Amino acid sequence: MVMVMASSAATTSTSSSTLLLRLLCLCTVLPVTLQAARPTNITIGALFAFDSVIGRSARTAIQLAVDDVNRDPTVLSGTNLSVIFQDTKCSGFVATIQAGMELMEKEVVAVVGPESSVIAHVVSNVANELRVPLVSFAATDPALASSQYPYLVRAVHDDRFQMAAVADIVSLYGWREVTAVYVDDDYGRGGVAALTDALQPTRARVTYKTAFPRGADRATLANLLQLANSMESRVFVVHASPDSGLDVFAAAHDLGMMVAEYAWIATDWFAAAAIDGAPAAASESNNNIIQGVLTLRQYIPDSDAKASLVSRLAGAAIPPSSNNDATVAANAYSLFAYDSVWIAAHAIDQFLDEAAGNVTFSADPNIRDANGSALRLSALRVFDQGDQLLRKVMLANFTGVTGQVAFQFDADGNNGTGSGTLINPAYEILNVAGGNTGVRRVAYWSNYTRLSVDAPTLLDDGGPPPNSTSTSTTPQQQQQMSNVTWPGGMTTTPRGWVFADNGTPLRVGVPYRTSDTEFVSKDDTSKDGVSGYCIDVFEAALQQLPYPVPVSFVLFGDGVTSPSYDELVQKVADGFFDAAVGDISIVTNRTRVVDFTQPYIDSGLVIVSTVKSSSSDEWAFLKPFTPELWGTFVAMCVFVGAVIWILEHRHNEEFRGSLWNQMRTLFWFSFSAIFFTQREETISSLGRFVVIMWLVVVLIITQSYTASLTSILTVQQLSTGIQGINDLLASNDPIGYQQGSFAGSYLINELGVKASRLRELAIEEYADRLQRGPRDGGVVAIVDELPYVELFLSSNCQFTMVGQEFTKGGWGFAFPHESPLAVDLSTAILKLSETGDLQRIHDNWLNQGTCDTQSQGTGGGALRLSVANFGGLFLICGVACGVALLIYFARILFQFYQYHRHGTTDGGAKEEEEDGGGGPFPDKERSMRWRLATRQSSFRDLMYFVDMKESEVKAAMAVRSSSTKSTARSRSDTSDGPSSP
């Protein structure tokens, strides 16, 4: 039993060891098995035009990339990458057949290409159906980023970014109009659409489009450019293909369009065709055909890998199948083609790891050959793992010869269909300077730095540095470029616009006024058929322009009533007129439809009212002062006279005498001082001080009285009581305004005036309606623009402006939106103002009247003076009088005390003698009665003392002082007598 159990245990142990050994062997063999599951060969396709400028260099770059991938042991370990080249021959039909019938049936897992946006639109549909990813290195049409093409991934920056760079260049130089010259296909149309969108935030626009067919000859191009040259814009953006785009510049050179005042900007095709090594283009450049052109080139940072690849491309031979004798020239597209192969290789490597080498194709049930068809559609196979490989392509993240290679994520952070946009777009801005200078780099552009003279820098992870400014928020002043040589060898920036040279003069609408013809009117004697202040200002401004502008004036209106200015402005917006010149006010609703120049005259709304001369009745002399001021002034005269009498009474004989004489002197001095005719002289210092202060007050008051009385007797007074806009709005009387003016709508819409109160009048009716007044079928006032009112008042002296302008505005010339003439004429108007010519034109036309509008004033008459106007003067004079009285009475009391002290000492001695030294009244009751009588006697003494002359007081005090001394000596002698021997 024990032996059996032991044997069983031994058997179990042996089985476990065998199982463990088998598991170890399986783990060792499994990686080898998985590795062996990878296919030994995998094929990609390459689809492009072999004989194109891009295709010649791209073919060599793609082949070099395939060779490098196969030599790299870290990529596609054990799997050989092969490539099948297919020539599209620049034909969408051929591309469809080649891609669908020949390339796809060879079961390629990915396709590098196509190079053309036109072919990409076609082939992408085949790729969508067969689920084969396309990695394009040159298809830049922005429309290809749509979710309509999920299997198209672009290893190149699309045209949205380079058009943003073009828009920044246009904005930097202040150009407002651009002419687009482009090839009429998906690539050209998509690029121009992107340019239009990019220009919109800069307030510039594409004003003319010149589309030419693919393969157009120079004669066709010349005809199209001739039409473009007849337009206003002199800024041309050329978006063509490298194979035919240079013919555009050859035709432009023949037409004389590669000279000064022109600006030419070419997109990145130009760099590949004319800068990166085409011999024919180089010879044309030497002949200065393309001198002054600005072009973009996709920016690729310098690196050892880039330098090595460029060197290898330069030494490569042209493939035998090429029909072109040109040598291979490395350009940006060839570098992107090289990286496109590596994108596919990395994606295939990751895909094979994930799919365990499972690469299968299956028939598409939607594709079958029709009866008798020889297209072999049934041979096409769907790549079963195509969507899986597409995801790996989108996750590409490595450093290639073009820099960091990675694709933009969707808004939700996931790589999805239609999101194949390469990160960190950047461009070089190159300038073909011509001569020995050659091509210069004048700026860089990236989506986070915009235009800059410094190369864009990226972090190690390929992202922009922190705090980078985005395209939409960088201020204009932060953008900069180096100096540019423009066509014709000019270094000054072209204006970018001239008057259209299409044989048609500028059609200018002019209002046919029936009144105030000084501003603008029909004039059969003038060569232009019109004349007036506005016409002279317009023509003087045209003379300031550096280019000729032929004009043709067209009258607008019937000549019977003044036309509607809103309708005239709308005619400009509708294109019926090219401009409108006249007395056109710049108001909000008009600026919405047209652009105005700088105002050349102020034209705020003002009020006109009737005035009458002030009546000079027998009491007119009292009107300068209010009754309160008259009363205060008289009281002040009496008060000051009393103060002077008090101060001078003890010193001045002229202020003494009988009571009647003193009162007469007081009032006489008070009122005679008003006319500075007082006969009495002041002797005391305090009296002179008060007189000086009072005379200053009298001088100011009398001068103010004279001025106010003069104004009252001469100024015109309002007869309506309206003194400003507030009074006008508060009343219910009718208000007049000029026919065709915006004043009526302004009063209704902005100020809330009832329409029933408004009367639309011709200017000839102003005087009659104002004189009749609101009670007799007239108006209480008229609201009109300042220039009309000034001209009206210059010959109608019985009316005046009331209050101030209650709106601010001006007259300007109207042009269609975005017209450069509006900007140039604004500058010209400012020059006229600075030189004084604008004022001379004004004086020549608008100072024709006989009335002095300045002397009419603003109405309302002179204001009466009140106490408040002189309160400060009265206060100063009153304080001066109070201080003088305080000093005077203090002095009086001190003298009275001295005087009374001498008198009391003498009397007391006598009383003591009579009473035996015991006081006058030893009895208490008799003593109190004596004290009361003494106080009454003291007040009478004080009044008597105040009335005494100063000289008498001093003499009395001297006598009393000597008497006191004599009495003291007598007492001294009496007390010393008994003790003498």
- 375-434 pLDDT, tens digit each: 566 667 889 999 999 999 999 999 999 998 998 765 444 444 445 678 889 999 999 987
Query: Does residue 524 fall inside a structural domain?
Result: yes
559 with 676, same domain: the answer is: no
Q: Which of 48, 57, 54, 121 lies closest to 85, judged by CA?
A: 48
Query: Could you report how far apart the first and last alpha carbons of the chain are, in Å?
Result: 183
Query: Does residue 489 fall inside a structural domain?
Result: no
- 897-929 pLDDT, tens digit each: 666 665 544 444 444 444 444 444 444 454 454
State which of 397, 420, 443 marks the end of a domain: 420
103 with 199, same domain: the answer is: no
Report the b/e string of 473-489 with b at 16+ CB within 10 A: ebeeeebebeebbbbee
Q: What pLDDT score was predicted for residue 88? A: 85
pLDDT of residue 355 exceeding 90: no
Least confident range of 206-220, 832-846, 963-977: 963-977
Query: Does residue 98 fall inside a structural domain?
Result: yes
State which of 697, 714, 731 marks the end of a domain: 714
DSSP for 750-802? TT---GGGEEEE-GGGHHHHHHH-GGGTS-SEEEEEHHHHHHHHTS-TTEEEE
Q: What pLDDT score was predicted for residue 549? A: 85
180 with 291, same domain: the answer is: yes
659 with 590, same domain: the answer is: no
Q: What pLDDT score was predicted for residue 568? A: 94
CATH number at residue 206: 3.40.50.2300
CATH number at residue 813: 3.40.190.10
- 939-959 pLDDT, tens digit each: 566 565 666 666 666 666 666
Residues 6+ apart with CB under 8 A from 924: none
Query: Does residue 493 fall inside a structural domain?
Result: no
pLDDT of residue 501 exceeding 50: yes
With cut-offs at 50, 70 and 90, classify the pLDDT of residue 17.
low
656 with 593, same domain: the answer is: no
Distance of alpha carbon 937 from alpha carbon 754, whole angstroms: 84
725 with 648, same domain: the answer is: no
Length of the chain: 981
Q: How many domains does the chain have?
A: 5
- 165-209 pLDDT, tens digit each: 999 999 999 898 899 999 999 999 999 999 999 999 988 899 999
With cut-offs at 50, 70 and 90, classify the pLDDT of residue 727.
confident
With cut-offs at 50, 70 and 90, classify the pLDDT of residue 678.
low
CA dihedral 22, 27, 29, 35 (to 10 degrees): 160
Distance of alpha carbon 719 from alpha carbon 609, whole angstroms: 8
Q: Which residues are 440's β-sheet partners?
A: 431
- 846-880 pLDDT, tens digit each: 876 667 554 454 444 456 778 888 888 888 888 88
295 with 376, same domain: the answer is: no
- 428-456 pLDDT, tens digit each: 999 998 766 688 999 999 988 899 999 98
Query: Does residue 312 fall inside a structural domain?
Result: no
Query: Does residue 970 fall inside a structural domain?
Result: no
State which of 714, 743, 758 marks the end of a domain: 714
DSSP code of residue 946 = H
Query: Does residue 54 fall inside a structural domain?
Result: yes
Phi, psi of 575 (to 5 degrees): 90, 0
Q: For residue 223, what are the domain limits? A: 159-302+424-452
634 with 667, same domain: the answer is: yes
Q: What is the CA radius of gyration of the chain?
A: 54
270 with 194, same domain: the answer is: yes
Are the C-beta atoms of residues 162 and 332 closer than 8 Å to each other? no
Average pLDDT, the chain: 79
Burial class (CB in 10 A: 0-12, 13-18, 19+), 789: buried
Q: What pLDDT score was predicted for residue 213? A: 93
Q: What value does the mean pLDDT take over residues 109-121?
A: 90
Q: What value does the mean pLDDT take over residues 215-228?
A: 93
688 with 725, same domain: the answer is: no
Phi, psi of 235 (to 5 degrees): -110, 115
Residue type, position 416, single letter? G
Distance of alpha carbon 797 from alpha carbon 856, whole angstroms: 7
- 545-570 pLDDT, tens digit each: 877 888 999 999 888 888 889 999 99
Query: Does residue 634 fall inside a structural domain?
Result: yes
Using DSSP bridges, classify how beta strands 735-738 and 781-785 pair: parallel, antiparallel or unpaired.
Answer: parallel
142 with 207, same domain: the answer is: no
541 with 681, same domain: the answer is: no
